[in-house]
Structure formats: structure tokens, C-alpha cells
Amino acid sequence: MSEKIFYITTPIYYVNSTPHIGHAYTQIAADARARFERMRGREVYFLTGTDENAEKVARVARELGREPQEFCDELSAAFRTVWDKLNISYDDYIRTTEERHRKVAAEIVAQLWNNGQLEVGSYAGWYSVSDETFFRTEETVERDGARYIANPTEDQSKLPLEWIEESTHYFKLSNYGEFLLDYYRDHPDVLGPESRRNETLSYIRSGLRDTSISRGLDWGIALPPVVPQGQGHVIYVWFEALMNYLSAPGYLSDDPKRRELFERCWPPDLQLMSKDIFTRFHATLWPAMLSAINVPLPRALFAHGFWTVNGRKMSKRDPETIIEPVAFAGHIAKLAGCDFETGVDALRYYSLREVTFGSDGDFSRVGCLNRYNSDLANGLGNLVNRALSMLHQYFEGVIPDVVGAQLGLLQSAEDAGPDIAEDFSTLNYSGALNRIWEVVALGNRVIEEQKPWARIKAGETNEVGMLLRELLGVCQWCSVTLAPIMPHAMNRLRSLIALPDAVTWNNAIAWNLLPAGHTCLPPQPLFPRIPKITEEIAMEIETNPDAAAPVAASQTAAPATEAPAAEPTAEKPNYIEYADFAKVQLRTARVLSAERVPKADKLLRLQVDLGTEQRQILAGLAQYWEPEALVGKTVVVVANLAPRQMRGFESQGMLLAASETADGPPGGLVTIDTDLPPGSVIR
Ligand code: MSP
């Protein structure tokens, strides 16, 4: 039998609203671990999905005048799209309205009935629809004639509870208290972090009661016929939702391929969620249910903390606290002038760096942008930029064949490696990132100390070459160790240093991957710096949907905003490389016609002859030039600017002109007065 597949799960999310950064957090954390395991050579089965049979989902749908199933289809697809945009590398996506789940859930309930684990009874209790949970009277208080949860946790409902009386079916959870306590005593590493383990143990010690597992509702999975008095009842959504972890990989499946997958991946190696659904559901009900059907228990269950936003609980009633991850990543990208996926990586980085995984945290938009600038643009981005710039300035982009003393950079990276792997394995993401940034900071510090720009002038080529080999080694190491957290940016880094595609954890310190003679690409900013950060700028993103629109990869650029390559900012202005300038195609064009654009007092619409083609260009010249005066002039056009729509017209390029100044007449159009044919290239 081949090696066990590493099986990792996230909760399945209710589809009563769209995902926010709280949901994204679990996904990002699970994704980082899944990628790390793959890089270490493990086969991984990473499962996520949506929880669709909840009463509140049907309620929201009906309130919106929608059919619940159609509503679920739409929202489930919306969740999936968000995970795809956030680069979440899930292997399977389970929806609890799918037949593969419905069938297995009903079969498990039948099995439980046949094994004597269920009994028929009646139920009366206080029900919270939004928590999908019953509360005992002693857990509630009366106020103004209504009942409420007595001491709601920050995430529990503050709305009135409903009194529900009905016949129901009980799972004999009370039989499992001793078993669970023994199990957790013998397997001390299953529950984490420590605080949640303790909470769970005292919850179980306080006495488990049998739990109602059916509801008289019309939306959900019907009880199987074998269960008496099951007509008109569906399986309680929590009981059935937990079974997704079994149904998705193929438990009781008719398909031999899926059964094989189940055999190879069970039990789950890591089940992640936040603390609100840990103790009662995942650490108590779920293992008891597994034990009742004789299926081995998960190897690890881990609860992370809760995010607040600027100190406030996330709530739809407080819209500023709802941060949509895709909109926010688009916002970061827009502000930084980088591509959307780099914005995603910045969000992934911030989420895992900001707080210790397992503790609560406060998400601040400004905090995230500041971290982007300090850690990504000024820290890692600067290091990469400096290393590649110097390699190109001093060695034409080719790693030199040099000998000399080591500066200790590679050694410190290599030494940190085992601890970083251990951090990933124990979900200590912020710890791993701290260790990686110590090496990044050391790299930048060594550049300051060594002053290679001065040494190269002094003819110390060998020493500078040695430094560069070490710096590029650190870039290689970062491109591997950070790949689980920032997969897109690290792919870009690897293509800049021209590293082979297959990224395995061992490639981090395989120093012979960048040998003497290896050519790297010219620098391109990995994380262009955000010029200005204020609370307003940070907020504007979400309130202005235009600003939040994802930036296309082709619109990246802004090379001048990352710190200059080799030398400290104070010593050298923001030069661009010739290669950057060479990307701009300047060509002459003859103006064939010009006219004003209706309702746009600045714009002229020009038709120009570019030698090989005729183009339409919109130019902001109307305040300074009469249209007729332009006809016949030879102007200079940026010919390879991406076309864009302006006032309903497509503009295919841009004319060069002096921009408006405080003290001079604006609109100085660049024209050519010698007799150059249209289309001539300008350098
Ligand atoms: N459908 C159930 C889970 C069933 S699993 C068998 C559910 N869904 S949920 O949509 O409410 O999502 C809960 C999960 O979203 C949490 O466990 C956590 O992973 C994530 N989070 C939701 N809000 C969060 C924060 N404010 N902070 C951190 N994580 C949060 O419960």
C-alpha cells in the first residue's frame, strides 16, 4: 500500500453570506500547510466546501424570494471563486446538497440506528436559528418577555430565542464522556492549542448529555426510512455537516476509486477551524460520532483565534468591519501598483504574520498596508532588487566564478531551516516568518556594511562577487521557504533568478542550483512600495468599488517605487534600468484629424497616421489647442500603451506633452519639425 495521503480540512462554510477575511483566514492557514506538505513530497488531499442544509440558509433564501437550492448554487460558487482568487490549492470541494454527501449522511444515520446509538424521544428547548443550536433553560435569560442566550460569546446570537417542541431523535452522546477523556489523555497532541484542549476537557468532564440529531423541517437531508418516526424529519445540520469529512473522500462510496482514496487518506491529519466551533462540535460530537461507527479519530484538531477589525467584532450591522478578501487584495494591488495576485500574497502574509496562530487578532487595513511596505517592499523586495541590480550592473547578470570567505548568510539560512520546517509542522506560521525575516534583515544589513558599490570602484570584484553569490542564495532560499505563504510572488522571484520549476523543500538549501555562469533576469520589483498610507486611503478601497477592482497582470509596473537597487536611498536617486526604458515604444505620428469630445472639456479625439496603421488617440489638450491647429503636425506617440476606454471611445496610445505646471503655460505638445516619416522609432 502506498504512503498515507496527508488529509487536511477546513470547516465548510454556511452560504448565507459571502466570505470575509475571517473565513479566508482558515483557508489561507490550511493552504500554507497543504503547500508545505506537498513541497516536502507528501501527497495531499485538501478538502473545503460549503454547508448548505442549514435552516438559516433556507430562511435567507426565502426572505430574498429565492429557491434555496438555486441560492445555494450561486453562493457556493461565489465562495469557490473567492478561494480560487486567493490561490487556495484545495483538492476537493464538497457541497452538502450534493448526492455523494446526502447518500452517505443518510447511510451513517441508518448505521447508527442499527447499532443502537440513536433513540426516539421528544424535544423542547430554546433554539437559536443563527447559531443552529439548542440551549437549555439554565443557559438562557428572560428580558422584556423574550428569551436570550444568558452569556453569549462574542460570536453567538444576541437575538431572541425560539421555543421549539417536537419529536426528535437522540444520539447517545452521554455514553462517550469517559471514552473521550481516556482518548485525549492517551493522545495528548490531538487537540490544540493547549487552551482549547483544556476547555474541551472541562466541557466533557462537566457531563455530556444525549444530543438531538433530527429536526422537523423541510430543508435538509431526510432521515433514512429505517429510523422510526423519522417522517418529516431531516438530520440536524451540525450532525450531518460534520460527516462531510467522511463523505468527500469516499466513505461508503460505491465508486472503488473514491473508496481507495478514503482508505489512503483516513484519518485526517489536521482539521482546522476557529474556536467557536471547536469544543462542542469538533472536539466532542465529531469524535464520538466516529467512534460510534467504528472509524478512527482525527490525528489533530486545531482551533485558531477570532479576528476583530480595528478592535470591533465583525458584523454586518457594522459594515466597516466586513473586509472582503478579494476586494481588499485588489485594493492593496491598486495602491502598490502591483498585480492582483501579489495583493493576495500580501493579504496572506499579513494574516499569518500578524498574530500567533491560535490567538485572537485584530485586523487593521492600515496595519496590513504598513506591513506590506516595511516587510515586503523595504525588506524582502529591496533585498531581491539590490542583489539582481548589482549582478546586472557589475557582472552582466551572470553569477561570477569567485572564491573567498563566506559572509555567513547562507549558513544562517541553512541553520534556520529545520526550525522553520518544525514551525510549519506545528502551525507556528508567525514563528516561521520571523525566522525568515531575520535572514532577510541580515542580508540587507550585510549590504549596508559591505558597501559593494564602493568596493567595486576600488576594484574588489572578487569580494563583491562573493557577496552576490550569498545574496542570491538567500533569494533562492526565500523563494522556497516562503512559497507556502506567498506562492505567486515566490514564483515570480524564482523566475527572476531563473530557478528550475520543481520546487521542493530541499531546493531551499541546494546551493548548487545557482552555480557560477548561471544567468539571472534583470530586476523587476516584487513588491512595489505604496507611496502614502493613511486610514482614509486604507478605507477608500472598500467604499470605492472602482479602486477595489483587481488589477490585471499586464498593468503591473511602477518600477520606480521600489527602493533603488544597490545603494541606500539617500545615496542614489530612483534610476530605472535601460531595460525598463526600452520597454516604452516611442514613434512619430502625423495628426490626420482632430475634434472635441462632447461633454469632455479637456479631451480631443485625434486620428493619427503611424506609418503602418491609423489609430485613434484621445488626448487632454482641448484647453490649450484648437483642434484644427493640430492637423498636419508630427507628434510623438507612446505606441505600446495598452488601449483603454475614455468617454466611450477607445484610445490606442498617448501623445507626449509637457504636463501642467504651477508657473508655466501648460500643454506644450512634443512635435517634430524635421521631415520624419510617420512611424519612425524614437530613442
Ligand atoms: N457551517 C459551520 C461549520 C461546519 S464544519 C463541519 C460554520 N460555518 S461558518 O460559515 O460560520 O464558518 C465558520 C468558520 O469561519 C470558523 O470556524 C472560522 O474558520 C471562520 N471564521 C468566521 N469568522 C471568523 C472570524 N471573525 N475570525 C476568524 N475566523 C472566523 O460554522
Kindly give the distance from the C-alpha atom of residue 375 to the centroid of ligand 1, in angstroms, as a whole number.
29
Residue 483 to residue 493: CA distance in whole angstroms = 10
Counting ligand 1 atoms within 8 A of each CB, the residue from 25, 236, 240 with the most, and so the one to mutate, is 25
pLDDT in tens, 45-85: 999 999 999 998 998 899 899 999 999 999 999 999 999 99
pLDDT in tens, 558-578: 333 333 344 433 333 456 666
* Structural domains of the chain in order of their starting residue, each with its CATH number: 375-513 (1.10.730.10), 559-682 (2.40.50.140)
Whose CA is closest to 391, among 572, 570, 565, 560? 565
Backbone angles phi, psi at 122, to 5 degrees: -125, 160
pLDDT in tens, 272-284: 999 999 999 999 9
Residue 288 one-letter amino acid: A
Counting ligand 1 atoms within 8 A of each CB, the residue from 9, 18, 23 with the most, and so the one to mutate, is 23
Residue 36 to residue 44: CA distance in whole angstroms = 10
β-partners of residue 587 are: 637, 681
Residue 205 has pLDDT above 90, yes or no: yes
Counting ligand 1 atoms within 8 A of each CB, the residue from 21, 26, 312, 356 with the most, and so the one to mutate, is 26
Spatial CB neighbours of 307, under 8 Å, sequence gap ≥ 6: 21, 22, 25, 314, 360, 361, 362, 363
Counting ligand 1 atoms within 8 A of each CB, the residue from 94, 235, 276, 302 with the most, and so the one to mutate, is 276
User: In the chain, count of helices (H) and strands (E)?
Assistant: 23, 25
State which H helix or E strand residue 59 sits in: helix 55-63
Q: Ligand 1 in contact with 542 (CB < 6 A)?
A: no
β-partners of residue 169 are: 120
Kindly give the distance from the C-alpha atom of residue 155 to the centroid of ligand 1, in angstroms, as a whole number.
10
Q: Ligand 1 in contact with 289 (CB < 6 A)?
A: no
Q: Ligand 1 in contact with 523 (CB < 6 A)?
A: no
Under DSSP, is residue 73 helix (H, G, I), strand (E, B) or coil? helix
pTM over 0.85: no
Q: Measured from the CA of 16, which atom of ligand 1 is nearest?
A: 10
Task: Count the Cβ atoms, other than its own, within 10 Å of residue 80.
Answer: 18
Q: Ligand 1 in contact with 22 (CB < 6 A)?
A: yes
Strand locations in 221-343 (E) = 234-235, 270-274, 301-304, 307-309, 312-313
Nearest-5° Cα angle at 553, 549 to 556: 90
* Residue-level pLDDT at 1: 53
Mean pLDDT of 386-404: 95
Q: Ligand 1 in contact with 241 (CB < 6 A)?
A: yes
Task: Count the Cβ atoms, other than its own, within 10 Å of residue 338.
Answer: 33
- Mean pLDDT is highest, among 446-455, 503-512, 576-585, for 446-455
Q: Ligand 1 in contact with 306 (CB < 6 A)?
A: yes
Contact between 468 and 391 (Cβ < 8 Å): yes
pLDDT in tens, 241-289: 999 999 999 999 999 999 999 999 999 999 999 999 999 999 999 999 9
Contact between 249 and 258 (Cβ < 8 Å): yes
Q: Ligand 1 in contact with 274 (CB < 6 A)?
A: yes
82-85: Cβ within 8 A, 24+ apart: 82/18, 82/19, 82/24, 82/325, 82/326, 83/19, 83/27, 83/48, 85/326, 85/329, 85/340, 85/344, 85/550
Kindly give the distance from the C-alpha atom of residue 273 to the centroid of ligand 1, in angstroms, as a whole number.
7
| Higher per-residue pLDDT: 199 or 623 | 199
According to DSSP, the β-strands at 6-14 and 44-51 are: parallel
| Secondary structure of 397-414 as H, E, C letters | CECCCCCCCCCCHHHHHH
Under DSSP, is residue 322 helix (H, G, I), strand (E, B) or coil? coil
Kindly give the distance from the C-alpha atom of residue 23 to the centroid of ligand 1, in angstroms, as a whole number.
6
Q: Ligand 1 in contact with 314 (CB < 6 A)?
A: yes
Q: Ligand 1 in contact with 51 (CB < 6 A)?
A: yes
Q: How many CA atoms lie within 13 A of 3 on its CB side?
A: 8
Q: Ligand 1 in contact with 273 (CB < 6 A)?
A: yes
Counting ligand 1 atoms within 8 A of each CB, the residue from 95, 130, 157, 273 with the most, and so the one to mutate, is 273
Kindly give the distance from the C-alpha atom of residue 243 to the centroid of ligand 1, in angstroms, as a whole number.
16
Residue 72 to residue 52: CA distance in whole angstroms = 6
Contact between 149 and 156 (Cβ < 8 Å): yes
| Higher per-residue pLDDT: 419 or 125 | 419
